[in-house]
Structure 1
Amino acid sequence: MKREKTIDHALRATWQSVAKSYNEQAMKHESTMAMGMALLYIDQDTGTPSTALGPSMGMESTSLSRILKNMEEKGLIYREKNPEDGRGVLIKLTALGKEKREISKNTVLQFNNSIKENIDESKIEHFFEVTELINRLISEKAIF
């Protein structure tokens, strides 16, 4: 079997192209795709518990810690004690973080709109059906 014809290769190659494209856009704003993604996952009104951020983004805590440290140094976020859990910390957006969040949101919308303009809606629906099924099979350990 040629690697170009395997499902995992198609998924990996496509994601690498998407990530490269997002990173190129993020660099225009002195950011990275990971920072942009984090900005979108942080609740802009109430903040997000640091412990909830990693799992929602699908990231390991070590990688997330590094990203959050960089974001704090750039003035995009700040940490605040969680009033509902004295041991926890809320990650909140600064005014600059909210501005950069809007840029990230518009970038994601532009990407999605461009895809929708170039691919038939039924094919997009099938794409989501297939990815949901792959994720279910993996989570149910039905593959290995």
Structure 2
Amino acid sequence: MNTKTIDYALRATWQAVARMYNEEAAKYDATMAIAFALLSIDKEGTPSTSLGPKMGMEATSLTRTLKNMEEKGLIKKKKNPKDGRGVIIKLTPLGIKKRELSKAGVLQFNDVIKQHVSEEKIKHFLEVTETINSLIAERQIFEEDV
């Protein structure tokens, strides 16, 4: 294609960002998915059932990520006192340390982008992505067959 489409620009940019984050996370024996999970777990713990929707991750991928995190000693699972069938995911001291590294990486990314892109352009970018997400959520891109 001679001209980039909006979806192409989004996809190519996200793939570049994901690759960058995975390369950085690998230095700490982690992945972008692990870093994102660390940032999504509240300090007092998070029910495992709310993590998937919070992260936009499929159950199978989330289960694999959490298992990997538990094996690395980043999280521990405790029975949910409010729901005996569920578990609460809590960060271990190592998980808290790795969470801070993840947070620093995200903040560094944002700081560097802000050094190169005006506040106004960032505001417009966020407005555009919000509109795209709303149009998708409201199923206004493709009509559903009835």
SS in 1 for 2:73: coil
TM-score (norm 1): 0.96
**2:114 aligned to which of 101, 113, 116:** 116
Q: Which runs of 5+ in 2 are unaligned?
A: none
Question: Structure 2 CA distance, aligned partners of 1:88 and 1:5?
Answer: 45
Per-residue deviation at 1:90?
0.2
Percent of aligned pairs with the same amino acid:
66
Supply the RMSD in Å over aligned alpha carbons: 0.9
Counterpart for residue 100 of structure 2: 102
> For this pair of structures, how many residues does the alignment match?
142
Per-residue deviation at 1:83?
1.1
Q: Which runs of 5+ in 1 are unaligned?
A: none
Per-residue deviation at 1:4?
4.9
TM-score (norm 2): 0.95
Spell out, residue by residue over 1:24-48, the C-alpha distance to the aligned partner (whole angstroms, 9 max, x if none): 110110100000000000012x100
Question: Structure 2 CA distance, aligned partners of 1:118 and 1:30?
Answer: 30
Per-residue deviation at 1:21?
0.6
Counterpart for residue 92 of structure 1: 90
Which stretches of structure 1, 4 residues or longer, exceed 6 Å deviation after superposition? none
**Contact 1:19–1:33 (8 Å) recurs in 2:** yes
**1:70 aligned to which of 47, 64, 68:** 68
**1:141 aligned to which of 136, 139, 142:** 139
